[in-house]
Amino acid sequence: MNFNNIRVYFALFPILLCTAVSAQTVDSRFVAGLSAIFMDYQGPISGDYLQYKTFSPGISVSAHGYVNPLLNISVNSAFVPETNYPLGNGEFLSTAVTDVNLVGQFKSNNGKIFKEQAFFAPYLSTGIGLNAASNNLRWYVPAILGMRFRINQHVSFNLEGAYKFAIDGKQQHIAYSGGFVFGLPSNQPSQRPPQNRPAEPSQLISQADKQLDTDGDGIPDVDDRCPEERGLVTFFGCPAPEESNEPPQEAPKPVYAETSTEEVVIKPQPLEEPEILDNTLTKNSQPSQADIDFLAEAMDNVYFDVASNELTPDSYKVLDRVAEILKKYPDYKLKVSGYTDNQGGEKTNKILSVTRAFNVKRYLVYQKDIPLSRIISNGYSSAKPIADNSTPVGRSKNRRVEFELVR
C-alpha cells in the first residue's frame, strides 16, 4: 500500500470538507454528504471484520432526497485509491476501486420512533450497487446500518457500516464510513406539511415555569439572547438598539415569561414604514360582503408550526389574499387578534398569542407593503373561546388568529 497517497488523501479531505460547508444553506428536502470511507475485501474471506490493517481509506460523496418521513433516496459514490482486490485462489490485485450505489434509506426519526429533529437517528439502507477495480465490474446488494447525529438544522454527522453482497457470489466486502451531510441551497420556504392545529407549548414544555431568568426581564435564559441584560420580547430579550428602531429580520421564537393574570398588551418596538408602490387605491369604498366573509373564514386557514409562532407555508397564500383586501380599502385598518385554547398556564399562552398575531403583522408589513399604521395586532390568550375547550376539536378551533376590518 502506498502511504504517500494516503497522506495526500487525508491532506485534501479537510479542504474538501470546508468547501462543502461554505456552500450550504437552510431547510431543504435535499442534502449532500462528504465522508471518509474505509473498505476491506479480506474481512469477509477471513471472517475478521475488524482487522484494521486490511482496511484501505478513500473518500465518498453522496446526495440524499427526502421522499416522506419514513424514506430517503440516496446516491453514493466512493473512490479508494489503493486496496487489495481479490482475484480468487488466494490472489489479490493492488488497485484503485470506484464504488457507486443507489439505496433507499429507512429512517427511525419518522415521528413514530424518534422525532424528525431528534439528535440521534438510526437508519437502515439497501438497494443496488456496482464497484469497478481495474477491468473487474461487480454488482452487489448493500446492507447498511447507519447512525445520524444532528448537529444543527443545517449539518449532521453520519456513521455507517455496510456489508456488500456480491450478486455473483464473489468479492463480498465491507466498508465503514464517517462524515457530514449538509442542506443544499434552496430559496423555497420550509416544506414541512402544515399541522391541522398545533398543540400549545404548555402541552410540550412541562418545565417552562422552572426556567432560569438571570436578568429578570421575564424571558427565560434558554430563549434570551442577552441573558444578563434586561430586554424586550421583540429583540429576543436584548435591549432596543440605540441607532435603529428596526427589530430583527427573522421572526422571534416563542418565549415563556412571567405575566399577570390580567390582560396584558405587549407592544413591539416601532417598525419602519415600507415604501408603498400601489397608487391606485380608491378611498371611501365600503368592504364587500365577499371580502368580509373571506376575512371571517381566514382564521381557519392560518396555521403555525407546533408550539411555535412561525407561520407554515400554506398560511402565506391566505395572508396574500388578506393583503389584497386591505389594499382595496385604504380608509380601513386591519385588527389581528391571536388566541389559544385553555390548556396550560396563562403566562405561556399570553406570550404565544401575542407573538403569533405580531408575526402575521410583520409579514403583511414587510412582505406585502401594507403601512404599519394600518395593522393593529394583539393576543388574548384563551379569552373569547368560540368552541368547547373540553374536547380536542373545540380546543383546535380556539387556537386561531382572527381578522377584522375597522375604521
At 220-275, the pLDDT tens digits run 777 777 888 887 766 667 776 654 444 444 444 444 433 334 444 444 444 454 44
pLDDT for position 69: 79
User: What DSSP designation does 243 have?
Assistant: S
The mean pLDDT of 287-308, rounded to a whole number, is: 82
pLDDT for position 126: 95
Residue 276: which pLDDT band, with cuts at 50, 70 and 90?
Answer: very low
The CB density around residue 113, as the number of other CB atoms within 10 Å, is: 12
CB 311 within 8 A of CB 318: no
Most confident stretch, 45-54, 88-97, 192-201: 88-97
**What confidence tens digit (pLDDT) does each residue in 19-31 have?**
333 333 334 578 8
Please report how many Cα atoms fall inside a 13 Å half-sphere around the Cα of residue 383, on the Cβ side.
Answer: 15
Distance CA 3, CA 6 (A): 5
Domain ranges for the chain, please list them: 3-183, 201-406
Residue 168 has pLDDT above 60, yes or no: yes
Q: Which residues contact 97 (CB under 8 A, 6 or more apart)?
A: 39, 56, 58, 78, 79, 80, 83, 85, 131, 132, 133
Q: Which of 44-48, 120-124, 316-320, 345-349 has the lowest mean pLDDT?
A: 44-48
Q: Which residues contact 49 (CB under 8 A, 6 or more apart)?
A: 40, 43, 174
Residue 209 has pLDDT above 80, yes or no: no
Residue 198 has pLDDT above 60, yes or no: no
Q: Which residues contact 85 (CB under 8 A, 6 or more apart)?
A: 41, 92, 93, 94, 95, 97, 133, 134, 136, 171
Residue 376 has pLDDT above 90, yes or no: yes
Please tell me the class of the 201-406 domain. Answer: alpha beta
CA-based nearest residue to 63, from 54, 72, 71: 72
Higher per-residue pLDDT: 142 or 20: 142
Give backbone dihedrals phi and psi of 6, rounded to 5 degrees, phi first: -65, -40
pLDDT for position 267: 47
Residue 211 has pLDDT above 80, yes or no: no
CA-based nearest residue to 191, from 326, 297, 314, 289: 314
CB 395 within 8 A of CB 343: yes
pLDDT for position 36: 94
Grid coordinates in use for 38? 474505509
pLDDT for position 75: 94
pLDDT for position 307: 62
Kindly report the average pLDDT of the chain as a whole number: 75
**pTM of the shown model:** 0.42
Residue 283: which pLDDT band, with cuts at 50, 70 and 90?
Answer: low
pLDDT for position 230: 81
Higher per-residue pLDDT: 348 or 225: 348
Residue entry with cell 369604498:
285
Q: What is the residue type of 20?
A: A
Q: What is the residue type of 143?
A: A
Please report how many Cα atoms fall inside a 13 Å half-sphere around the Cα of residue 38, on the Cβ side.
Answer: 16
Q: Which residues contact 221 (CB under 8 A, 6 or more apart)?
A: 211, 212, 213, 214, 227
pLDDT for position 14: 40
The mean pLDDT of 138-162, rounded to a whole number, is: 89
Residue 145 has pLDDT above 60, yes or no: yes
The CATH topology of domain 3-183 is Porin (2.40.160)
**What confidence tens digit (pLDDT) does each residue in 52-94 have?**
677 889 999 999 888 887 888 999 999 999 888 777 677 777 8
Residue 37 has pLDDT above 90, yes or no: yes
Distance CA 312, CA 86 (A): 54
